[in-house]
A and B are shown apart, each in its own frame.
Chain A
């Protein structure tokens, strides 16, 4: 049985270490210290932690002000509230003023589960990606999460980082070399490229095994940084495979699939299938039930990959 760890838990641990290293690190939350795993930071560094109450818009503005005075600010909330409720504050007070703020949004995607549509942030990548200057990163597991948090504190740019609620399998080991803006090839293949982020990377890897049994060779690439997008790795991969599947726990409109489609449309158009939520709100249910119902499983990626390969061969 593989090791399971929630990305939000990994974040909470990373933050505790980084609080020691960065004396100017300040953390804010909007009444979600427990759920977003910043409670331990608040206990260890009470002078550098502020609960802003259930008031996300002001929290983002306060973060901007702190950043303008030399602080590195980490703000936390759930993905939908962080990206949606405070969108315009992020646009203007954070990004336009180039404030050194890292928005760490937990409870991304439909895997929030039982809380249902109101709490399932499935539009956040799209919302954040469109803001000039915003970087958008979605780690796939606990190991990558820690590396992401460490990396974003080293740069002065605003960044949106999306984490998840449930425990998810650990994919990477410690020597995985995360770099902001770089994709990472996990499986080399020649028939189809699968670009995935977040929890869908694990599903993509499972689908690769299944495809291999049918002698379809899939290349699996982790695109954890959605913006800036690693165009080079995407185009290079597609040049050799000629078919693409994208997989994300997000609306198919505006997220990873859109970003890849934009890049390939301009540079190297090939048959493309997108796995994601198809313009629908989520609902209550167990995580596995929801992923199945909304077609976000390895089986769905497997089918999409076969379709992409078939379309490629049809064209020949």
Chain B
């Protein structure tokens, strides 16, 4: 139980960072950052073998944010792990900042590869997993993809080949929050049946509540034990999770909170923390 509370607290902290960063930046993507916060908290504070003091450690587990627009979340978790000073979060999207509007591997310590153009991150993650197999390394590769993102053809090219090459060291997490820029994904371009698609491409599939820390941790464990297949964790989430007026609101895909909205949001998040601490 200690671990669960610890990770819940971390996720809450990440959400607060996201709100603060975006409100200072005045632009960016809160919805899909908030929806994945529990997943990234679990990865970075429990699952990943990594060393913030040595981001290029050869045997590290890799994480690729294929849905690059959720980088406020990634920057927050990297800073909280010690990849760079927390202070720097305030520079998000500003001129000369190391924290670009979408992840830039040449600028930000801990970012494995530049992403932001949807569909590309999963291919790169597949390449990293393939390198691990060639070198008989034990590291694992995790990649977070968006539910709208899977409309990209490249995702399925990657799904096909990762399945074919039986990359069981590759684990994708689908942030299934149900909304994309133009509306509900089922109205824009229904990608369902999602689970069946991935399993027919040779992947082990796990469906979870993407806000349940215990379900997330169990899913990662199951993925690690899966033989001969890559795993996809289909994480059902709520876009804007944790901030009442952002939850399931399409507009908050790519709209930063105003100063007033940020204040309200931060109060809510701080209250939430108090609730489950009691």
Decide whether A and B are members of one complex: yes
Whether the Cβ atoms of A58 and B123 lie closer than 8 Å is: yes
Interface size on B, residues (CB 8 A): 34
Count A-B pairs with CB separation below 8 Å.
Answer: 105
Q: Is the interface of A mostly helix, strand, loop or mixed?
A: helix
Distance from B265 Cβ to chain A, minimum over Cβ atoms (Å): 32
Which chain B positions have C-beta within 8 A of A63?
127
CB-nearest residue of chain A to B139: A69
Contact among A62, A70, A92 with B130 in the assembled complex (CB-CB below 8 Å): A62
CB-nearest residue of chain B to A57: B154
Given A57-B119, A98-B106: A62 and B161 interface contact (C-beta under 8 Å): yes
B116-147: contact bitstring with A at CB < 8 Å (1 yes, 0 no)?
Answer: 11011111111111111011000000000000
For the complex of A and B, the 10 pairs showing the least CB-CB separation, nearest first, are A65-B127, A61-B123, A69-B131, A58-B157, A55-B157, A62-B127, A65-B124, A65-B128, A66-B127, A57-B154
Within the assembled complex, what's the spacing in Å between the Cα atoms of A67 and B134?
Answer: 12
Whether the Cβ atoms of A64 and B124 lie closer than 8 Å is: yes
Which chain A positions have C-beta within 8 A of B130?
50, 62, 65-66
Which chain A positions have C-beta within 8 A of B119?
57
Within the assembled complex, what's the spacing in Å between the Cα atoms of A220 and B122?
Answer: 47
Given A48-B134, A70-B131, A88-B117: A93 and B124 interface contact (C-beta under 8 Å): yes
Whether the Cβ atoms of B127 and A69 lie closer than 8 Å is: yes
Which chain A positions have C-beta within 8 A of B116?
92
Q: Is the interface of B mostly helix, strand, loop or mixed?
A: helix
Check: B248 CB closer than 8 A to any chain A CB.
no
A90-134: contact bitstring with B at CB < 8 Å (1 yes, 0 no)?
Answer: 001100111100000000000000000000000000000000000
Known: A62-B123, A62-B161. 17 other contacts (CB 8 A): A50-B130, A53-B157, A53-B160, A57-B157, A58-B154, A60-B123, A61-B121, A64-B124, A68-B113, A70-B58, A88-B120, A89-B120, A92-B115, A93-B123, A97-B106, A97-B113, A97-B124
Distance from A203 Cβ to chain B, minimum over Cβ atoms (Å): 39
CB-nearest residue of chain B to A30: B157
Chain B contact residues, CB within 8 Å of chain A? 58, 104-106, 112-117, 119-132, 134-135, 153-154, 157-158, 160-161, 164-165
Distance from B112 Cβ to chain A, minimum over Cβ atoms (Å): 6
Distance from B155 Cβ to chain A, minimum over Cβ atoms (Å): 9
Within the assembled complex, what's the spacing in Å between the Cα atoms of A66 and B132?
Answer: 9
Check: A135 CB closer than 8 A to any chain B CB.
no
Check: A47 CB closer than 8 A to any chain B CB.
yes
Check: A71 CB closer than 8 A to any chain B CB.
yes
Distance from A177 Cβ to chain B, minimum over Cβ atoms (Å): 33
Within the assembled complex, what's the spacing in Å between the Cα atoms of A7 and B106?
Answer: 34
Within the assembled complex, what's the spacing in Å between the Cα atoms of A96 and B120?
Answer: 12
Whether the Cβ atoms of A62 and B126 lie closer than 8 Å is: yes
Within the assembled complex, what's the spacing in Å between the Cα atoms of A68 and B127?
Answer: 9
Which chain B positions have C-beta within 8 A of A68?
105, 112-113, 124, 127-128, 131
Whether the Cβ atoms of B158 and A61 lie closer than 8 Å is: yes
Check: A52 CB closer than 8 A to any chain B CB.
yes
